[in-house]
Structure 1
Amino acid sequence: MTDQHELILTCPKGLEILLCDEARSLGLEQPRERLAFIQGTGSLETAYRLCLWSRLANRVLLVLRRFAVASAEQLYQEIQSIDWADHLEIQGSLAIEFTGRGAGIDNTHFGALKVKDAIVDQLRDDQGRRPNVDKLNPDVRIHVHLEQGQATVSLDLSGHSLHQRGYRLQQGAAPLKENLAAAILIRSGWPRIAAEGGALADPMCGVGTLLIEAGLIAADVAPNLHRPQWGFTYWLGHVPALWSRLHQEALQRAEEGLSKPPAWIRGYEADPRLIQPARNNIERAGLSQWIRVYQGELATFEPHPDRGQKGLVVCNPPYGERLSDEASLVYLYRHLGERMREACLGWEAGIFTGAPELGKRMGVRSHKQYALWNGALPCKLLLFRIEPQAFVGGAALAADHRAKDAPAAAPVAAPLSEGAQMFANRLRKNLKQFSKWVARSQIECYRLYDADMPEYALAIDVYRDWVHVQEYAAPRSVDPAKAQLRLLDALSAIPQALGIPSERIVLKRRERQTGTRQYERQQATGDFMEVQEGALKLLVNLHDYLDTGLFLDHRPLRLRLQAEASGKRFLNLFCYTATASVHAAKGGARSTTSVDLSKTYLDWARRNLALNGYSERHRLVQADVVHWLEQDREEYDLIFIDPPTFSNSKRMDGVFDVQRDHVHLLDLAMTRLAAGGTLYFSNNFRRFVLDEQLLQRYRVEEISAQTIDEDFQRNPKIHRAWRIQAKA
């Protein structure tokens, strides 16, 4: 054996430059980059050091020989020319890994078989016995690569891949390999930030891989310090004394590093099921004093370093594996950007994603991007400096959005008829009346007009800078021609009275609904708009359905649920787009469960939750509510039920009629109500009568008047609501 060896280090694609720098610092001479590996020369001491300290490599291979190959038989002969008694005990075990093809070898299994036969035949001929084959834990692992008629035979010194540090026995649904996590941290500048005493926070930490790799770097702990067995452990060329010295040095460095004041490293994870696995992984890595993990939604992410230092925000947010709805991902990334701008000013950030276009939704310009691979998936690491000059201002984004949607030229106002002028005056009066209340309430959606003037039978709702107009079907006693004329008068008045272009007015006709017509698609624009309600953002669609996704009259009920939700298990039945669940989550609900029969509306609900930074731990269930209640055995502290008046969906077992079926529905729901819990029941059937037997069974209080906001005072019969509790 010579003092210098050719060494090959394999790695994930995209890490070659980083690995080259790392290997050079660990003693590898003349390192050269190749696709998914580097090669250079070094002593056995260098090879050991690379095994112990490389945070980026998959394997460290010691090249035994290179030779030309023209046939399978020549491969056999050349392999036999190596004296395998110098490497392997006769009673030992071996495994062969063969890659590449050519020279009549088009099957890697066949190539591995020829190599194995050559080694085994040589040792049996020389010593009368042969070693065993052990593919999982061999004493010696031989690697042969065949490319363009050239074979490279190497000894695998690492054994199992070096990314398997040994601490991660539990992992989440989309695990990040440890060496890729280390590369993300190195590219993001963590070694520099840690040396300067900076902090690190991961707002979506999963089982803690990024946190642990950051801790190992900051504490100067060799990533494979505690690996029990190596590929060289039973290799006959192994020098135990040399290895022992290097290992002892690494132990000493780790002891000194871990005795320093710990770096501030924190992780936050919305899914409560991942918290304990993350803490277990951290403990196995020996970093319990350095890393803390907390359960928390992205909406609440706000790092507070102990010593007030800045640092690095780093994370691997989902990009298709963890959340199935693409729109939800858009809002997730946008919310991540908002939290970074609001809570991490002056920090740096590294966001690793397989969907870099989502990074553009964050509202912060990245100053560098690096191409990396997560397995076979091409990804990018986006680097940010969280400073105001890098922000893409929310106001600017909104202005851009408005500019794209606005007409090329402002419409010329036509003279209004007498009736239209009268209608415009009423709209201006209402607008002035509501302006202070709207600003004080922090809402962008409200009912401006609701058939205030009987001859103009319209409901007019403001949605930010859009207007949603619903025409009530005129009674048969009204001349259709006159009704049409009044509608045209109203439509001509709205743009001038409200200063909104006609292109931003959406008109629908409201008729008595039967079956599921209320929920049927009217158009297919897929045009969703964000609106604000208090501190929350919600999605509305003004075009595609008769209803917009937000029942404005239930605003006080949603705010009441938010105020009462802290620490409670919340159940939302007939949840529609789950706006009440979003409010409950904002109010600190321990969990929310939202049930509806419509997949379309549950997808919408998922987007509403994601838009506000709430994860899928807020459960969404597609089911017939009555049937689901008959099967469910969970308890809930707070329940909200707002059923349709009538439903005969094909996916239901039967027909639901709120008047006929509300007693059975409420009895079922009350069996799921925890002791001391509260159920809120509401519906908008004008002729609804609550069955008196419910008053005998439960404590029932009608709260309809308390749930009518200022914009619905003209129409107090818009809905009725009750507060129901179990009798003491």
Structure 2
Amino acid sequence: MKFFATCPKGLEPVLFDELKALNVEAPKQTLAGVYFSGGLEAAYRACLWSRVANRVLFELHRCPAETAEALYRGVQEVKWLEHMRPEGTLIIDFTGQSEGINHSRFGAQKVKDAIVDQIRDETGRRPSVDRQKPDLRVNVHLQRGEATIAVDISGDSLHRRGYRLQSGAAPMKENLAAALLYRCGWPEKAAQGQALLDPMCGSGTLLIEGVLMAADIAPGLLRRDFGFTYWTQHNNVLWQELLAEAQARREAGLKQVSSRFEGFDADAKVLSIARDNARRAGVESLIHLERRELSRLSHPAIDSAGLVLTNPPYGERLGDEPTLFFLYQHLGERLKAEFAGWQAAVFTGNPELCKMMKLAADKTYKLYNGAIPSQLQIFNIRARTEAEVAPRQSVAAPSVSSPVANPVATPIAKPEVEAVVEPEVAPVVLSDGAQMLANRLKKNLKQLAKWAKRQDINCYRLYDADLPEYSAAIDIYNDWVHVQEYQAPKSVDVVKAFARLQEIVAVLPSVLNIPADNIILKQRRKQQGTNQYEKQDQTERFIDITEGGCRILVNLDDYLDTGLFLDHRPIRLQIQQEAKGKDFLNLFSYTGTASLHAAKGGARSTTSIDMSATYMNWAKKNFALNGFAEARNHFLQEDCIKWLKAQRGEGYDLIFMDPPTFSNSKRMHDVFDVQRDHADLINLAMGLLRPEGKLIFSNNYRRFKIDPALAEQYQVVDITRKTIDLDFKRNSKIHQCFEISAKTPTE
């Protein structure tokens, strides 16, 4: 009998070694799996004992299948009543394509028709399709005009052991966890009684798989059903013998385990999930789980050697990296300080972050986590030299505790919470460059603080990459500081870039005389669509600031932007001065601050339009905070372009429009590009403007050029220079702004 065991890409060598150890015949490695031969016992053992495979397929037949008709004929060459009952159920898994079969659904339909037609012709009865629990799962793979027809005797993917009913935010599949353990040589370490520790264990998958290996527990023991359970060729006597053998090995293995298993995580909720998973796996008594921050990671006193294996967050979302730099740096520091003589391994989808650990990898394996290219980096931790442990004259830089859910905006030092010890202070030497930065910040502060006080401004930009080496924007919000690191080019070494970021946050508390807890750090990358408006964290912490007599709510944590575009301050104040007695329209209104200023200035009515329900609600809160009722202030959650196209007639005296540079949001009717589409957008808005009215059009595309044809239709005045306040003079291309109105008869 010929079989094919499938596995995730990159795990083929591990699966080959595993099947070879199970004594299958003629194993042969290929892309995404391993071929092997043998009787039913070999296949059953693979289903029961393989920790890496996804499926085990029993090959029935190969046939030409360039066309749908050829595929149908080839499938009917198999005697299907030898594999299922006439009234049974089936499901077809079809992959591949040919000239005549270009869709997997179509191919699956042809296979199903061939099987059902054959059985109906022979018995007068027909099987039915069951997508959930079929009696027979048929797998057909079409490649180079040839179809391979097989019975899937594994059924549901073998990585689903049965112990994990819940998981954390970014769960790792069980067979990937097992493969990482194999790559780290865990079975040999377990045989020596070494320890296994995961400092960010999440739902406990690595630890549970580690125990199953150490205790010689078959990963398939917890599964109730396999693909062969209702297959007519299933040999239940043989299967029960193998189950009894596995059960006996489990009982003996549990008694012989001498390794310690420890898992830590900062999230009590996910630890509860880990405990439930370990209990269902029957290994809860062997795993010690504890809520503990990464800063408290320490060497277990009774274990002289072992393996630290973990899968830290690696930044799937916009702006994650600054926080994760601290995390990986701290992990490296704790490993070097506490685990000399141990082996450590980190599995990550962002290998660049591992540079923060300042450890040289002894081995690196390229793997995949789902579709994400990833790496397993293995380190042999050596004792630190005297120079490395000697105290240094330094400036204390705040450190970030271990994030569990990859927060994007994180205070540089978090306030203490129940049962969590504060992170240790990481020393950073104040370099000549950092001293230059401190001097520049002091100079800017001296100039801007006086100006801000005169203008009654308490939110402004203090620094905007004035020194190219320290590439960040630093904004003051009352007693808070919002730091946005600009993403460094790929040519810049990530470790050096992070060191400079550390120096930024190190000098800010002393220069500004604020606590480190009041510094919020983010990374600003090139934007696409509505990424900058998408939620990044869940703090729901709002700060009440004032501008031009308006109270405005800003959120420094949860989004890349804060709810207030500081560079638009002069435009908002101009709107406030001009809005009295006017009907005001705010398109792409964001959190409604321009509308708020219009209302403060005495507008007869305001209308704010934005696609986001979140920002509509935020705008309503801003209005409520200032005591403005909704009777004269309207909020519409709409696609602005679609809404404009549906409107007819003049209805507004003053319109403000600040569209995104580019958007391909699924909620928009079409892809929007401000350079390409601004003329059509302006024409639509001008159609709603009363004869004496004015449109203020702004955008932040640095290379924007307004369409010359607009100047032929309307009076267009570039007011950009007068809308750039003192705090943005160093970055005069932060936006471009135009006043557009109808031409007078003399024009």
* CA deviation map 1:345-399 (0-9, x unaligned): 1110111011111112211100110010111111110010001489996999999
CA shift for structure 1 position 303 = 3.6
1:32 touches 1:39 (CA, 8 Å); kept in 2? yes
List runs of 5+ in structure 2 lacking aligned partners: 395-424, 473-497, 525-535, 556-568, 573-590, 598-624, 626-747
Distance 1:322 1:289 in 2: 36
Correspondence 1:202 to 2:122: no
Name the counterpart of 2:508. Answer: 549
State how 1:267-416 maps to structure 2 within 5 Å.
267-305=263-301, 307-321=302-316, 324-388=319-383
The one-letter amino acid of 1:320's match is G
CA shift for structure 1 position 144 = 0.5
CA shift for structure 1 position 33 = 1.4
Correspondence 1:520 to 2:456: no
Distance 1:291 1:542 in 2: 36
Distance 1:111 1:391 in 2: 67
The one-letter amino acid of 2:470's match is D
Distance 1:389 1:8 in 2: 48
SS in 2 for 1:135: coil
Alignment length, in residue pairs?
491
The one-letter amino acid of 1:624's match is D
Distance 1:397 1:66 in 2: 70
Name the counterpart of 1:624. Answer: 544
CA shift for structure 1 position 325 = 2.0
CA shift for structure 1 position 293 = 1.3
1:522 touches 1:543 (CA, 8 Å); kept in 2? no
Distance 2:236 2:61 in 1: 24
List runs of 5+ in structure 1 lacking aligned partners: 400-440, 447-460, 474-505, 530-537, 559-578, 583-600, 606-615, 633-646, 655-667, 669-728
Name the counterpart of 1:580. Answer: 517
Q: Which of 25, 32, 36 is the equivalent residue of 2:28? A: 32
* CA deviation map 1:118-163 (0-9, x unaligned): 1111111111101111012101100011100111110101000000
CA shift for structure 1 position 518 = 6.5
* CA deviation map 1:163-188 (0-9, x unaligned): 01111111111111110000011101
Distance 1:178 1:628 in 2: 51
* CA deviation map 1:520-569 (0-9, x unaligned): 1433247279xxxxxxxx99879999x963145857xx5xxxxxxxxxxx
CA shift for structure 1 position 32 = 1.3
The one-letter amino acid of 2:283's match is L
Correspondence 1:47 to 2:43: yes
Distance 1:327 1:471 in 2: 21
* CA deviation map 1:660-690 (0-9, x unaligned): xxxxxxxx9xxxxxxxxxxxxxxxxxxxxxx
State how 1:15-164 maps to structure 2 within 5 Å.
15-164=11-160
What is the TM-score of this pair, normalised by structure 1?
0.61
The one-letter amino acid of 1:143's match is N
- Distance of aligned partners of 1:237 and 1:630 in 2 relative to their CA distance in 1, 3 Å threshold: same
State how 1:184-223 maps to structure 2 within 5 Å.
184-223=180-219
CA shift for structure 1 position 624 = 2.7
CA shift for structure 1 position 328 = 1.6
Distance 2:220 2:139 in 1: 21
Distance 2:350 2:227 in 1: 37
2:6 touches 2:55 (CA, 8 Å); kept in 1? yes
1:203 touches 1:269 (CA, 8 Å); kept in 2? yes
* CA deviation map 1:182-210 (0-9, x unaligned): 00111011111111000011111111111
CA shift for structure 1 position 261 = 4.5
- Distance of aligned partners of 1:392 and 1:165 in 2 relative to their CA distance in 1, 3 Å threshold: farther
Distance 1:323 1:210 in 2: 27
User: How much identity, in percent, do the aligned residues show?
Assistant: 42
- Distance of aligned partners of 1:174 and 1:394 in 2 relative to their CA distance in 1, 3 Å threshold: farther
Deviating more after overlay: 84-93 vs 49-58? 84-93
Name the counterpart of 1:710. Answer: none
2:309 touches 2:344 (CA, 8 Å); kept in 1? yes
1:312 touches 1:349 (CA, 8 Å); kept in 2? yes
SS in 2 for 1:79: helix
CA shift for structure 1 position 273 = 2.1
SS in 2 for 1:226: coil
Q: Which of 222, 227, 230 is the equivalent residue of 1:226? A: 222
Give me the CA root mean square deviation: 4.0
Distance 1:45 1:164 in 2: 21
1:540 touches 1:549 (CA, 8 Å); kept in 2? no
2:437 touches 2:504 (CA, 8 Å); kept in 1? no
Distance 1:265 1:544 in 2: 39
Q: Which of 407, 432, 438 is the equivalent residue of 1:468? A: 438
SS in 1 for 2:117: helix
Name the counterpart of 1:258. Answer: 254
1:53 touches 1:222 (CA, 8 Å); kept in 2? yes
1:64 touches 1:153 (CA, 8 Å); kept in 2? yes
What is the TM-score of this pair, normalised by structure 2?
0.59
CA shift for structure 1 position 468 = 3.1
1:120 touches 1:130 (CA, 8 Å); kept in 2? yes
Distance 2:72 2:426 in 1: 79
- Distance of aligned partners of 1:38 and 1:349 in 2 relative to their CA distance in 1, 3 Å threshold: same
The one-letter amino acid of 1:301's match is L
State how 1:610-649 maps to structure 2 within 5 Å.
619=539, 621-624=541-544
* CA deviation map 1:585-616 (0-9, x unaligned): xxxxxxxxxxxxxxxx45389xxxxxxxxxx9
The one-letter amino acid of 2:438's match is H
CA shift for structure 1 position 76 = 1.0
